[in-house]
Chain A
Amino acid sequence: DTEVTQTPKHLVMGMTNKKSLKCEQHMGHRAMYWYKQKAKKPPELMFVYSYEKLSINESVPSRFSPECPNSSLLNLHLHALQPEDSALYLCASSLGPGETQYFGPGTRLLVL
């Protein structure tokens, strides 16, 4: 298995909803990442997990809450989002920190 999977592919949520994005890889990678990409802009790093511990938080608002339950799984919990949070959320993984990153197809989120 050489891919990063993300679910759901699309998500529409209201500003009072709570939802979660899921990312999974079975390549034995020990670093996992969340990126946010607005339309026609480059991806921007949000969080990095290394060996299941949060190692980088790029000053992301607390309405985004990451979780790494095990080395294969990465979640992003969403609560009280704003319309400007609508974006493509990309997950990536790498063998270790600093190694080549492999990206999933992303979850396209729309906040109403």
Chain B
Amino acid sequence: DAKTTQPNSMESNEEEPVHLPCNHSTISGTDYIHWYRQLPSQGPEYVIHGLTSNVNNRMASLAIAEDRKSSTLILHRATLRDAAVYYCILRDVTGGSNYKLTFGKGTLLTVNP
């Protein structure tokens, strides 16, 4: 799987937007960009995914650079419940490895009240 690079940690204030960056300079044309998060003492939780276009859902937005070498997960109004480790993961869905989620180190998001 192609490698992703994320900051180890970020801090935000409650009710402010949060932009979580992810670099993936070796991304291939068939790699989808997935984001999962893991709240304390819980299993990972799917957040959002995209290929080329920006994506929105009830949890977050995903902004993908035009060259696809980076992306940003946007939480529009952070709450204390958004404090978690956020993982940016590339998945190639064309080959046999498409079953895998290969987690990197992720970004630990702290939300201050």
* A42 interface contact, C-beta 8 A: yes
Establish whether residues A42 and B87, one from each chain, have CB atoms under 8 Å apart when the complex forms.
yes
- Interface 1/0 per residue, B74-91 and A, CB below 8 Å: 000000000000010001
By secondary structure, the A interface counts as: strand
Q: Which of B71-113 contact A (CB under 8 A)?
A: 87, 91, 93, 98-106
Query: Which size bracket describes the interface of A in this complex?
Result: 20 to 34
Chain B residues close to A by CB (< 8 Å)? 41-46, 49, 87, 91, 93, 98-106
Chain A residues close to B by CB (< 8 Å)? 4, 31, 33, 42-45, 48, 50, 55-56, 90, 92, 97-98, 100-106
Establish whether residues A103 and B100, one from each chain, have CB atoms under 8 Å apart when the complex forms.
no
Other than A44-B103, A105-B41, give 9 A-B pairs with Cβ distance below 8 A.
Answer: A33-B99, A42-B87, A45-B100, A45-B102, A97-B99, A101-B44, A103-B43, A105-B43, A106-B43
Establish whether residues A98 and B91, one from each chain, have CB atoms under 8 Å apart when the complex forms.
yes
